[in-house]
Amino acid sequence: MNFPKEQRRILLIEDDYGNRVLFADFLEQCGYRVLPLADGNNCIEIMQEFLPHLVLLDIKLPHIDGVTLIQAIRNHSQFHAIPILVVSGYAFQADRRRALAAGATDYMVKPILPVTLNSKILSLLKLPPKPISYENTSQENTSQENTSQENTSQENASQERPSQENASQENASQENVSQERGKHERRGHDSEPDSSSGFWR
């Protein structure tokens, strides 16, 4: 496998499918190359091919539990110093001590915020956080301002049209009122207005 030298590789071992997909997607968005596995079978052989910079695993795994897997990695001459981060649902201190004693670099308890996970990985890899592109941010803000101005202009135009139409309708209505009043005056002051006339309602 050939990867860019600047791209850090993470071996993810998580038996829960949902967590595995979420972790892998998030880490890839952070710029890592991720190889997700459902268990630790043939882990050393896979690591020799993938050459990860960090191993992220759970303690509760099928076939080979996480503690045994950590010991196997630490006993291999090629990977004895690789950072191993445990992310587990086991919150007891005894589980934490057992994982650290086996050779885990650090231990985190689920549930965990993605930003917290990434910060921990960066500290283990001794990498600075990825800088934010302020140029792109500025362009996005400018685009949003232009869009907002266009929407405002369209709203003003749409408001003016109904106002003009309402004014025309009011003028027409006033003319009808004047005409009807003239008719009633000619018929006599005692006549009553027609109840079917809309402008009386």
Cis peptide preceding 62, ω within 30 of 0: no
User: What is the pLDDT at residue 50?
Assistant: 97
The CA-to-CA distance between both ends of the chain, in Å, stands at 82
CATH of the structural domain 9-125, one choice from 3.40.50.2300, 3.90.180.10, 3.40.50.300, 3.40.1190.20: 3.40.50.2300
Structure tokens at 105: 């670099």
Determine contact, residues 12/56, Cβ cutoff 8 Å.
yes
Structure tokens at 182: 């003239």
Among 199, 180, 176, residue whose Cα is nearest residue 191: 180
Determine contact, residues 49/43, Cβ cutoff 8 Å.
no
User: What is the pLDDT at residue 179?
Assistant: 55
For residues 201 and 2, which has the higher predicted lDDT (pLDDT)?
2
* Rounded mean pLDDT, 33-57: 97
pTM equals 0.62
Among 125, 105, 133, residue whose Cα is nearest residue 33: 125
The proportion of the chain whose per-residue pLDDT surpasses 70, expressed as a percent, equals 60
CA distance 91 to 112: 12
Torsion over CA: 50, 51, 52, 58 (sign): positive
Please state whether 103 falls in left (phi above 0), alpha (psi between -120 and 50) or beta. left
DSSP states of 7-36: S-EEEEE-S-HHHHHHHHHHHHHTT-EEEE
DSSP structural state of residue 103: T
Determine contact, residues 90/20, Cβ cutoff 8 Å.
no
180: exposed, middle or buried (C-beta count within 10 Å: 0-12, 13-18, 19+)?
middle
Angle at 38 between CA 59 and CA 23, to 5 degrees: 80
Determine contact, residues 53/29, Cβ cutoff 8 Å.
no
User: What is the pLDDT at residue 177?
Assistant: 46
Among 9-18, 52-61, 82-91, 160-169, the range scoring the smallest mean pLDDT is 160-169
Query: What does the pLDDT look like over 133-168, one tens digit per residue?
Result: 444 444 545 555 555 555 555 655 555 555 555 555
Measured in degrees and rounded to the nearest 5, phi and psi for residue 36 equal -85, 135
